[in-house]
Each structure stands twice: as structure tokens, then as C-alpha cells.
Amino acid sequence: VSTDIVERLLSGDRRALARMVTLIENESPAAREYLARLYPQSGRAQIIGVTGSPGAGKSTLVTQVARELRRRDLRVGVVAVDPSSPFTGGAILGDRIRMQELAGDPNVFIRSMASRGSLGGLAAATRDVARALDAAGFQVVIIETVGAGQAEVEIVRAAHSVLVVTVPGMGDDIQALKAGILEIADIFVVNKADRPGADQAAAELRMLLSLAAKQPKSPDVWRVPILKTSATQGEGIAEVVDALFRHRAFLSESGQLARRNQRQVYSEVLALLQHALAQRLKQTVPDEEWQHLIDAVVERRENPYQVADLLARRVGLSDPNQAGV
């Protein structure tokens, strides 16, 4: 029997996966080594981001979508992310009571994550958890956020397909779904369509989207579908899953998936590099020295360019001008 967490995770051991997620959340140095070994086995899952105002029915909808995916015999991971509340060491978001019926299914894995420290850290941890689920053989990974703020947008940006959930009678709310949300939405869902005003909400969205669209007729442009659901009744769910698969196919066939992957790898490596540099600076330059340097610049005894050059040399960038510092 192998005790290696990576091997166990790859062979479908849930406890190894749960342990891995905890290591990622704790930013354990071991996690990085394990993730490096898992990496070649990842890249197969479809990563779906779900965002929208609190109370729009995201978690009800995600539960239904997960059930539909199970009906189609796919293994589903759900990561519920709350960037606004601090990590409490336990289940957040009530651990999604609605999802409990799914929790007993060995082909479903549900986990909540909360913020600890920086948003960049949470976004990276979410991506790494999705990657671990992907490597563990979950074919669809859903990242669900609690709200629709800038932090949530940042988190779902790493997904292949972003689903934005709205409800009828939120005309003002839709206006408030600033350009940021319009831009990231691959699929709009008007949930609670059992209530009056769903058609109007859909029409309003269609208008906002056509105002924002640049070349709506071009075949290379994804026409964002606006779907109506009633998550509590389980209505419209199969259409949402169909649209998610169509989007995935569109991404591959149009070449956008490849471009997206390129962009994401570039920004991930850049972020890792920036993090390493910041760590190195913290280790090599004590706080009091920072203070001296800052005072010197404020008092015009030094200038910011000189100080940046000096610090760049201290962290081992031998030719700071060429390095762009």
C-alpha cells in the first residue's frame, strides 16, 4: 500500500485529495512540491466559474447542475469560495446544506474555501484546488463564489466557462453588473424564472450584451446565451449543462482555448515570480532599512530609481536596468 499522497490522490483516494486541499489552503511548502508532480495529470477537466449576487440562487443552481452532470455520468468537483469572510478553520457557507445529498456520492467532491490574507493568495489557492481535482479525475470542476464583486470576478477569471446568475426584478442590479461582469460572462442565467419578470430580465440582458458586443455576427465570437432556470424546481438545468458543453467545444474549435491557456500560464508564472521576488525582498531587507530608504527618498536625499536599483542588486538582479527594474 502506497502512502504517497500524490499516488493515492491519482488513484482516487478521497482522503488524500482532502488532505491535499488542506495543504494548499495552508500554503504549505509541501503542497507546491505535490502540485508540481500532479501538474502533468491535470488539464483535462472543464473548469466552470459561477458568480452572481448573494441570494440569486447560485448554490441551488450549482447543486442541480452537479446532479445533471452526475446523470450524464461525469465526476464533479465543487469549490465554494468566499473571499469576503476570513478562514474559520471549518465549513463556511453552512457548507452548502443543499448540497448534502450530493456529498455521499463518491463521484462528487465538495469543498469550501475562505479568504486568508491576500486575494491573490486565495485566487491562486482556488486554482490549485481546481487543479488537484482535475488531476484526481473530476471531469468538471465548478468554482462557485458567494457574491459578484471584484474579488469574485478575479477568482472565476481562471475558469474556462463563466456562468453569471441573475434573477428577475433586478433591473437596477443588472445595471450595477458593471462592464466587468458583462465581459466575463460566457453564459447568463436568469434564475427564479418561476417568478414574474424573467422574460423582461432576459431582454434587458440581451440589450446590454448587444451594446457591449463588438462583432456579434462573426462566427469566431461566442454569442452569450441567456437561459432561464428555476433551480428549486430543477427547470432549465439540462439546457445550462448543454450550453456549458457547447461553450467548451467552441473554445477548442475556435482556438480560443489554446490562447486562453497561453495567457493563463503566462500570468501564473509571472505571479509566482512576483511572489518569489517579494519574499526575497522581505528576507533580505529588514523593516528598519526599508524605513531608512523611504525616509531618504521622501527627504530628497535619494531618488526612487536609485533605491530600486539598490534593492534589485540586493535580491540578485545584477543588471537592474536590463531587468526593467
If binding is defined by CB under 6 A, does position 192 make contact with ligand GDP?
A: yes
Residue pair 192/167 in contact (Cβ under 8 Å)? The answer is yes
Q: How far is the CB of 95 from ligand GDP (least distance, A)?
A: 12
Member of 31, 56, 132, 198 binding ligand GDP (CB under 6 A): 56
Question: What gap in Å lies between CA 116 and CA 217, rounded to an integer?
Answer: 44
Q: Phi/psi at 140 (nearest 5 deg)? A: -130, 130
CA 99 and chain centroid, separation: 20
If binding is defined by CB under 6 A, does position 42 make contact with ligand GDP?
A: no
Nearer to ligand GDP, 35 or 189 (CB): 189
If binding is defined by CB under 6 A, does position 120 make contact with ligand GDP?
A: no
| Candidates 3-11, 23-31, 57-65, 245-253; binding stretch for ligand GDP (CB under 6 A) | 57-65
Residue with cell 477537466: 45
Nearer to ligand GDP, 115 or 230 (CB): 230
Q: What is the DSSP string of 277-319?
A: HHHHHHHHS-HHHHHHHHHHHHTTSS-HHHHHHHHHHHTT-S-
Residue pair 8/2 in contact (Cβ under 8 Å)? The answer is yes
3-state DSSP assignment of residue 244: helix
If binding is defined by CB under 6 A, does position 57 make contact with ligand GDP?
A: yes
Member of 42, 84, 139, 232 binding ligand GDP (CB under 6 A): 232
Question: What gap in Å lies between CA 185 and CA 51, rounded to an integer?
Answer: 9
Residue, CB closest to ligand GDP:
57
| Candidates 35-43, 48-56, 303-311, 312-320; binding stretch for ligand GDP (CB under 6 A) | 48-56
Q: What is the DSSP string of 85-154?
A: EE--SS--GGG-GGGHHHHT-TTEEEEEEEE-S-HHHHHHHHHHHHHHHHHTT-SEEEEEESS-SHHHHH
Q: How far is the CB of 232 from ligand GDP (least distance, A)?
A: 4
Q: How far is the CB of 181 from ligand GDP (least distance, A)?
A: 14
Question: What gap in Å lies between CA 232 and CA 238, rounded to an integer?
Answer: 14
| Candidates 11-19, 58-66, 120-128, 199-207; binding stretch for ligand GDP (CB under 6 A) | 58-66
Nearer to ligand GDP, 153 or 317 (CB): 153
Give the x/- contact pattern for ligand GDP in 202-231, rule: CB under 6 A.
Answer: ----------------------------xx
Radius of gyration of the chain (CA): 22
Nearer to ligand GDP, 195 or 292 (CB): 195
If binding is defined by CB under 6 A, does position 145 make contact with ligand GDP?
A: no
If binding is defined by CB under 6 A, does position 239 make contact with ligand GDP?
A: no
Contacting positions for ligand GDP (CB under 6 A): 54-60, 191-192, 194-195, 230-232
